[in-house]
Amino acid sequence: MYAQSFAYSNQKNYSKSIKLIDELIRKNPNYVYFYVTKAQYLFEFGKITESNIYYEKSIKINPKLYIAKYELSNNLILLKKDITRVISILKELVFHFKYMPEMWKKLGNAYYIDKNYFAANKCYAKNAILRNDKKLGKLFLEKAKKYQKTNEQKNDLIYIEKKLGEIDE
């Protein structure tokens, strides 16, 4: 039944894929991946808000289901909703996946929406460092410097500048 729901989804027959996944959820209400699958189907069908409901359910069942947290935060960024929560989720994800450039980029996007331009540019610079893009990293470092206000922020930028210096050109 699960494979058949994927097949229907691949054929863009979302009503049948949703019907099958709903049946699986009804039979297995604590199996987290059925909720994630339904959330993905709804997202693909353009129902982002409804998709979030199922990401939330999967996170409630398993709070360490990081892929659901990532997708939920991505959806909320697209909707530009609950950005404070998005930042919190993405900070948790960055803690666990600090070497994944995409996490820093998403966190930067959330900070940018929140109008925290220092933090956004700092995150974008970290993304560039992880991708070994010295030129882009320097660009975001300079942007971050324009918004720097505290000694702690200055120290953050000194560290980023040091890391950029370690990248070969």
- Model confidence pLDDT, tens digit, residues 10-39: 999 999 999 999 999 999 999 999 999 999
Say what the pLDDT of residue 84 is. Answer: 97
Say what the pLDDT of residue 66 is. Answer: 96
* Number of separate helices (H) and strands (E) present in the chain: 10, 0
- Write out the CATH class of domain 1-81: mainly alpha
* 169 has a pLDDT exceeding 80: no
Query: What residues contact 20, with CB distance under 8 A and at least 6 apart?
Result: 1, 2, 4, 5, 8
Cα(118)–Cα(92) distance, rounded to whole angstroms? 19
Cα(139)–Cα(18) distance, rounded to whole angstroms? 45
Residue closest to 111 by CA, chosen among 144, 154, 134: 144
- Model confidence pLDDT, tens digit, residues 55-73: 999 999 999 999 999 999 9
pLDDT band at 6 (very low <50, low <70, confident <90, very high): confident
- Model confidence pLDDT, tens digit, residues 98-155: 999 999 999 999 999 999 999 999 999 999 999 999 999 999 999 999 999 999 999 9
For 32, which DSSP code?
H
Angle, nearest 10°, between helix axes 48-61 and 66-79?
150
Cα(125)–Cα(141) distance, rounded to whole angstroms? 6
Residue whose pair of structure tokens reads 């994630």 in the numeric block: 36
With beta carbons less than 8 A apart as the criterion, state whether 130 and 165 touch. Answer: no
Cα(126)–Cα(138) distance, rounded to whole angstroms? 10
